[in-house]
Each structure stands twice: as C-alpha cells, then as structure tokens.
C-alpha cells in the first residue's frame, strides 16, 4: 500500500499529455485490470488499486477519490466528473460505547457498468451497482443500485426518468 501511494503520488499532479501517459502507465501496473487507455485528470486519489478493474475508455476528472477496499469494477465508456467519492467500505457506528474508528469496516463491492456518467460532487456508497447507461446528477448520494439507463438525482438519489 505504501509503494502504491508513493508511485501514484509522484505522477498525480503532472498536467498535459505527459501526465496522462505517465498515470496510464502506473495504473496499468497497479490496477487489477485496465483494458485500454484511461484519462485520469491530475489530483485523483485511488486506494487499493489492485481491487480496481477498468474497461475501455474510462475518464475521471480532478479531485475524485476512489477507495476500492472491497473492489470497484468500472465498465467501458464511463465518465466521472470532478470531486466524486466512490468508497466500497464504510465505518460502523452502532455501538455508542466504542469509538467509530475502532468499529469494523463493512466492505461491499461497487459495480459501475458500461456507459455510466457520474456528475460532479456525487457520492457512490458501498454495495451499489450503477446499471448500464445510468446518469448520476451532480451532488447526488447514491445509496441503492440503479436500473439500466436511469437518471438519478438528489440526496438520497432517486430516479427521475429513463433515458431513451
């Protein structure tokens, strides 16, 4: 994990074509799978890279945080806006006599299917599957899996329509 953080950290903030190329090279080595070139903007944070599996044509904007402690699968042609949080683990807090930091972490894999677009500042919670063609509106907090080609918005996210 330390080597992963060091390797990713060196190339995290390099801009331009050089930065994209260097980040691709590093992620090709560290990810569990990366099918083709990805466009990762500067200042994107990945945790547990070995648990990330990416398809083709993956693009993610600045300041996004992806924690793959339980696994994150990303399909083909997925677009992520800036400032997104995707975390496949969450802290428990049920026992008020035990500090949250000492309670177990529940791990649940996240699946992002082909053709998904996640808008800026969205949060994807553990265990969620974003079905094919889903659009997640800016600022949404997705706590439940979506239906194919749905558009979801809000906190918590709710379906407002189906894409045709």
Task: Work out how many domains the chain is built from and give that number.
Answer: 1
Closest CA to 82 of 40, 31, 22: 40
Residue 64 belongs to domain spanning: 2-162
pLDDT number for residue 5: 67
Active-site option among 33, 91, 158, 161: 91
Per the CB < 8 A criterion, the answer to whether 62 and 82 are in contact is: yes
- Predicted pLDDT at 143: 98
Least confident of 11-20, 42-51, 86-95: 11-20
Mean pLDDT of all residues in the chain?
92
CA max distance for the chain: 51
pTM (2 decimals)?
0.91
Percent of the chain with pLDDT over 90: 76
Kindly report, residue by residue over 92-151, the tens digit of the pLDDT.
999 999 999 999 999 999 999 999 999 999 999 999 999 999 999 999 999 999 999 999
Report angle CA 71, 74, 77 to the nearest 5 degrees: 175
Give the pLDDT of residue 7: 65
Task: Evaluate whether 13 touches 40 at the Cβ level (below 8 Å).
Answer: no
> Residue 13 is part of a domain; what is its CATH number?
2.160.10.10
79 in catalytic set: no
């Amino acid at each position: 994990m330390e080597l992963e953080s060091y390797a990713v950290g060196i190339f995290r903030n390099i801009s331009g074509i050089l930065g994209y190329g260097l980040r691709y090279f590093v992620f090709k080595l560290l990810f569990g799978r990366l099918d083709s070139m990805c466009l990762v903007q500067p200042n994107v944070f990945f945790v547990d890279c070995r648990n990330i599996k990416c398809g083709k044509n993956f693009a993610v904007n600045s300041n996004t945080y992806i924690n793959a402690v339980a696994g994150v699968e990303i399909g083909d042609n997925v677009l992520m806006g800036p400032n997104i949080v995707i975390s496949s683990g969450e802290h428990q807090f049920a026992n008020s006599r035990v500090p949250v930091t000492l309670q177990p972490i529940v791990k649940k894999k996240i699946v992002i299917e082909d053709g998904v677009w996640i808008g800026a500042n969205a949060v994807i919670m553990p265990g969620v599957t974003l079905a094919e063609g889903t659009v997640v509106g800016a600022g949404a907090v997705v706590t439940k899996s979506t239906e194919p080609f749905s558009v979801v918005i809000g906190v918590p996210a709710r379906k407002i329509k189906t894409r045709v």
